[in-house]
């Protein structure tokens, strides 16, 4: 029988094997098993490391994703905080603006009430404007007639000048080129001029006619209650009373002279004692 070889060495058959050969064969078998075991261990080791590496990589990816999510969440929180702050600031500004508007409205309230009353009055005036327009020509003619009658019945100072004003006013009312507003203004101006005579003092030199006699004198007018004259030499003077001239005493002529000087700014104002052309009770 041919010899067998173990690990390159010849091994005798069963009939020829020696004890040393048996020991050597057992050792070789153990070494082979140990080698297989080491190879298996190394293979398992490499597989565990790869699995651990994969696990670590997965954990790293998850951690990175968690960090990214956290950063995005924090960014959203910060953005929401900014929006809240902006809205709070806008609300605060709106409240301040509302307070200013409320104060402004309270300040305007009296003016608005007054304006409302004015508008109501104007509305009422507009409602009657047509009637007033139609009645205006008759009203102006009536005012002119009354003014003419007043001049005729009043103290006749500056009589010619005042009658000429009335005549001019009558011509204006008959002028078709003048508007109703212009005619009204002229009538009111004539009345104002007449009313002013009762509130001022006046002195002028003019001609006095008494019968067939004409002479130059100084006239003094104290409103509508006193109308006097004095000759330049101071020897004659009179007061208009009851439709004619009444002579003045020497003391009264002195008072008229003082009055002329006062009106002409030649003397300081002082109290005068003179008879009246018309009692004050009659002018009220």
Residue 284 three-state SS: coil
* Structure token digits, residue 59: 């954990």
Q: What is the dihedral of CA 10, 12, 13, 17, to 10 degrees?
A: -140
**14 pLDDT band (50/70/90 cuts)?**
very low
Q: What is the pTM of this model?
A: 0.53
**In this predicted model, which residue has the larger pLDDT, 92 or 166?**
166
pLDDT in tens, 49-105: 566 667 767 777 788 888 888 888 888 888 888 888 888 888 888 888 888 888 878
The pLDDT of 225-237, averaged and rounded, is 95
**13 pLDDT band (50/70/90 cuts)?**
very low
**23 pLDDT band (50/70/90 cuts)?**
very low
14 vs 207: CA distance, rounded Å = 193
pLDDT of residue 213: 86
**2 pLDDT band (50/70/90 cuts)?**
very low
pLDDT of residue 11: 47
- Please work out, in degrees rounded to the nearest 5, the angle formed at the alpha carbon of residue 269 by the alpha carbons of 158 and 254: 70
116 vs 124: CA distance, rounded Å = 12
160 vs 40: CA distance, rounded Å = 153
**In this predicted model, which residue has the larger pLDDT, 135 or 179?**
179
**In this predicted model, which residue has the larger pLDDT, 71 or 11?**
71
Spell out where the chain has E strands: 4-6, 9-11, 201-210, 213-222, 226-230, 237-241, 244-247
110 vs 113: CA distance, rounded Å = 5
39 vs 48: CA distance, rounded Å = 14
Sign of the CA dihedral with 11 first, then 17, 18, and 19 last: positive
Q: Report which of 262, 202, 258 is spatially closest to residue 226, judged by C-alpha positions.
A: 202
**22 pLDDT band (50/70/90 cuts)?**
very low
Range among 22-36, 85-99, 212-226, 270-284 rated most confident: 212-226
**In this predicted model, which residue has the larger pLDDT, 73 or 207?**
207
* Structure token digits, residue 22: 């048996």
Burial of residue 184 (CB within 10 Å: 0-12, 13-18, 19+) is middle
Q: Report which of 271, 218, 274 is spatially closest to residue 246, judged by C-alpha positions.
A: 274
Burial of residue 178 (CB within 10 Å: 0-12, 13-18, 19+) is middle
């Amino acid at each position: 029988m041919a010899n067998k070889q173990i690990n390159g060495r010849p091994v005798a058959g069963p009939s020829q094997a020696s004890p040393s050969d048996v020991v050597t064969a057992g050792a070789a078998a153990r070494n082979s098993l140990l080698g297989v075991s080491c190879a298996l261990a190394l293979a398992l080791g490499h597989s565990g490391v790869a699995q651990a590496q994969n696990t670590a990589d997965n954990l790293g990816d998850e951690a990175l994703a968690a960090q990214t999510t956290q950063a995005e969440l924090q960014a959203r929180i910060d953005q929401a905080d900014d929006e809240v702050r902006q809205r709070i600031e806008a609300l605060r500004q709106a409240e301040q603006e509302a307070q200013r508007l409320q104060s402004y409205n309270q300040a305007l309230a009296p003016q608005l009430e007054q304006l409302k009353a004015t508008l109501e009055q104007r509305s009422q005036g507009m409602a009657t404007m047509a009637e007033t327009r139609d009645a205006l020509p008759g009203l102006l003619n009536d005012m002119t007639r009354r003014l003419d009658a007043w001049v005729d019945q009043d103290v006749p100072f500056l009589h010619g000048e005042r009658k000429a004003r009335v005549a001019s006013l009558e011509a204006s009312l008959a002028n078709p080129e003048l508007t109703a507003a212009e005619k009204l203004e002229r009538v009111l101006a004539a009345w104002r001029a007449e009313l002013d005579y009762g509130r001022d003092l006046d002195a002028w030199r003019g001609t006095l006619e008494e019968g067939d006699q004409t002479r130059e004198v100084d006239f003094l007018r104290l409103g509508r209650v006193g109308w006097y004259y004095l000759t330049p030499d101071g020897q004659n003077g009179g007061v208009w009373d009851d439709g004619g001239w009444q002579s003045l005493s020497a003391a009264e002529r002195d008072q008229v002279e003082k009055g002329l000087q006062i009106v002409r700014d030649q003397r300081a104002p002082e109290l005068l004692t003179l008879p009246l052309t018309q009692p004050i009770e009659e002018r009220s």
